[in-house]
Structure formats: C-alpha cells, structure tokens
Structure 1
C-alpha cells in the first residue's frame, strides 16, 4: 500500500508527514492526541543516512516532545548491501538507532510498529521489532531471510526447508507466521484508525513476544527458557 493512502486511513484527524529520500517523518493526530511518526517507504535499504535520520528524529522527539507516542511505519528491504556502508560500520549505525528507540521507551514513549509493505532482515530488526508491539497489514511481506539464502548458509536443501515451512513458522515468511511466533502482535484488517488507537492504548514496556509465541504455538520453548533463567537467577541471588 502507498504510504499516502495508508496515512489517510490511519489518521482521519490529519497528519503532517513528509517523505525525503524514502525516509518518512512528521506528526499526526490519533484519538485526539499528537503522535510522532517515522519510517521508510519504497522498499528502502537502510544505509547509514537513513539509520542516522531515524535516530535523530527519535532523539528530537524525546527532547522536544516528552512522552509523545511514536509510530514506526516499516517498508524496507533490509540493510543496504554496499561496501561503503560496511566500511563505515552500518551495524553500529543500526545499533545506535536501536539504542535510541530503547531510550525513548525508557523515557516513557509508547512505541508501535506497523509493517505496511515489506520488512526484511536487519532493517526490520531495528525498526518494527524494537517497538513495544509490532503489527502488520494482511498483504505485508515479512521475513528475516529467504529460504534460498537460508539453504546456502545452513547447507540444508531448499526443498527440505520448504517442507519444514509448511508446519514450522520459524522457516516460513509472511505476517501470519510471524504472528504465530509472537513477533507480530496482530494483523490489521478493518478500521485502521481504530486499530492504531487501540494499539497505543495497549502498548507497554513489557516484552510479550515470547509469551505470545507460546500461546499461539509458534515458539514453544522460548518462554519456558526465559522462565527457567528468571527462576534460576532468584535462586542464585544473595
């Protein structure tokens, strides 16, 4: 979906979002309150410039608008695969962005992510996956790694991975599978403005992804491992 069309549905009370080189930033009204909006469009590759622009916007919001909710609109093909970006340390730039988002959360900003088109690899990890909760539209494309690339790296035949993807959401792309794993809180199909308002009302700093994955049967061991670690830390505490 084109981001302009999406904004019309998300923000019937109005918005002031602008696009510059596939970087989205601005503000909007949701349920009578102002929110900050940032994101990407055009399947943007996340290079050092966009990573810094997003981090700068988040820090400005924390300084200038304490407590203002933040919406991250996601459409990215992942980190930009260029020698220049690698030599400049794109991993550090993306880590900086993630730290800025975490600072905003610790400073009292509710943060919601929305995958409205494409979300791949590291570009998704440092955007929607850093939010308090991430949502998706039904036609969104979500994956950390395509099966052909996964086959090359793991040395598992692609045919076997395709077979596994039929029953195991860890191997399968798409918003439905990420919802089963808890990475996506819900898929929005209906009144988007109402869904967004409800998402901000429900947003909290507690990470519920492991619990959701267990409840939905997509990740059955993560939450038990977390619980065991927490229980062990209590036993070992002086």
Structure 2
C-alpha cells in the first residue's frame, strides 16, 4: 500500500495529514467520530535533530490543547541521520526527547499507536515506533534495531555467525517476523481489510498497565528470560522500600 492508500483506509471520513521534508503532521477522522493526532516519518527519511524536534513540538502542542484524542505514529524511515552536524548538536538527546514525549502522552491517558508500513532502524525506530504503547505493522514492513553488518562491527562476530544465531534467537535478527516474536510488534494488520476498523478495534481494547512486551515475547518464545528477570528485579526493588 502507498502512503495515500493507507491514509484513506485509516481515515475514510477524511484527514489533513501533510508531508513536509519527510515528516508527517496532521490529524484524521476516526470511524467512531473522534479524531486522531498523526505524526510520522515517510519516504525512508533519516530522523535528525530538526525532524525530531518538529515531531516533539507537535506532540506537546496536542497535549497542551487537552482532550483524549489518540496519537497515531506512521513510520517509514531510515535510521537516525548519520551526520556530524546532528551528532554535535546532540542527536541522542533529541531522539530521547521525542521518545519521552510519546511516553508522557501515554502517561496522560492518550492511546499511542505506531503503524509501521515501511522500513525503520536504529535510533529512529526506538524514538518513534518502539516508544508507543502499541506497535502494529503492515505486511512487508522491515524493522531492524540494528542490521547484521552493523551488529557484526559491534560484537566482533562475523555476519555468518550472527546469521546462524538469528535462526534460533530472534533478538539477533532484523525483520518483521523476528520483532513480532520478541513481542515488540503486537500484530500485523491485514491490508485487505479496512485499516480504520482494525485501528478502532485496537483503540477499543482496555489498555494494560505498564509495558507487557516482555511477557508477549515469552508467550511467543522470542524472549524467554526478559519477563521473569524484570519481575524479579521489580520484586526486589519494591521489597526494599
């Protein structure tokens, strides 16, 4: 599906989402009559300091105006922008600020949903899609926290070894199926069915308190230890208070 097709399917009642410099800003009319605030990254654009602060400003503006409109994050990005300028300006802080804005929106009772419809990787992935309460994807989406060649440079293991490990350990592997198995991707939507209906069904679900992606990863056998370790750490921390 093209971005235009996705927006029409999400908001058959109309939307005012515009694209500028690879960023998406606007809102759309939900099937139940409400509106959703929309931000995002399109055209596989790398996310730098300028883009991160514009998206953050939009989120804070939405929160300042009050209400309970959900926030939808559409994602088809590259990784974070690899430039000396962005790094010197503190790109990590700008990306962290954007992620905090999404988490803050969730803490204020806003439903935050990311729809991954293309590619995303690294810092851009973490600061947008992974910072929402629920991440869903369309078939063909290509997420990667880190691609295998980059992982090879960090771990000093060959790509061949990492490819072999990826066959049995999803956390080593990029790709939609692997991210779903770890619990990071909640569901893959059916692009042949109304996206508006699927979004409405997701928004209607009673949100769970706290982040439960580690438990989902355990259920799907993608992360067998994370949930148990997190629960043990939480228990030890609260017992000492």
In the TM superposition, residue 25 of structure 1 has moved relative to its aligned partner by: 0.8
Deviating runs (4+, > 6 A) in structure 1? Answer: none
CA deviations 1:108-145 (Å, max 9, x no partner) are 21100110101111001010101011011110011011
In the TM superposition, residue 16 of structure 1 has moved relative to its aligned partner by: 1.1
- TM-score of the superposition, structure 2-length normalised? 0.94
Give the equivalent residue in structure 1 for 2:100: 99
Q: Which runs of 5+ in 1 are unaligned?
A: none
In the TM superposition, residue 203 of structure 1 has moved relative to its aligned partner by: 6.2
Q: How many residues align?
A: 237
Asked if the contact 1:112/1:203 (under 8 Å) is kept, the reply is no
Give the equivalent residue in structure 2 for 1:200: 203
State how far apart, in whole Å, the 1-side matches of 2:158 and 2:127 are.
30
The secondary structure found in structure 2 opposite 1:41 is strand
In the TM superposition, residue 166 of structure 1 has moved relative to its aligned partner by: 1.5
Does residue 85 of structure 2 align to residue 81 of structure 1?
no
Give the equivalent residue in structure 2 for 1:166: 167
State how far apart, in whole Å, the 2-side matches of 1:68 and 1:104 are.
10
Give the equivalent residue in structure 2 for 1:54: 55
State how far apart, in whole Å, the 2-side matches of 1:220 and 1:126 are.
25
CA deviations 1:50-78 (Å, max 9, x no partner) are 10110000001001242210000011111
CA deviations 1:166-187 (Å, max 9, x no partner) are 2211111111111110000001
State how far apart, in whole Å, the 2-side matches of 1:22 and 1:178 are.
25
Question: Cα RMSD (Å) of the superposition?
Answer: 1.3
Give the equivalent residue in structure 2 for 1:108: 109
- TM-score of the superposition, structure 1-length normalised? 0.96
Query: 224-233 or 78-87: which moved more?
Result: 224-233
State how far apart, in whole Å, the 1-side matches of 2:157 and 2:23 are.
37
CA deviations 1:145-196 (Å, max 9, x no partner) are 1111111211111111111112211111111111110000001114222111
Give the equivalent residue in structure 2 for 1:27: 27
Match of 1:221 among 218, 225, 229: 225
The secondary structure found in structure 2 opposite 1:15 is coil
Question: Structure 1 residues 203 and 49, CA, compared in 2 at 3 Å: closer, same or farther?
Answer: farther
Match of 1:232 among 217, 221, 236: 236
Give the equivalent residue in structure 2 for 1:181: 182
The secondary structure found in structure 1 opposite 2:201 is helix
State how far apart, in whole Å, the 2-side matches of 1:179 and 1:128 are.
13
Q: Which runs of 5+ in 2 are unaligned?
A: none
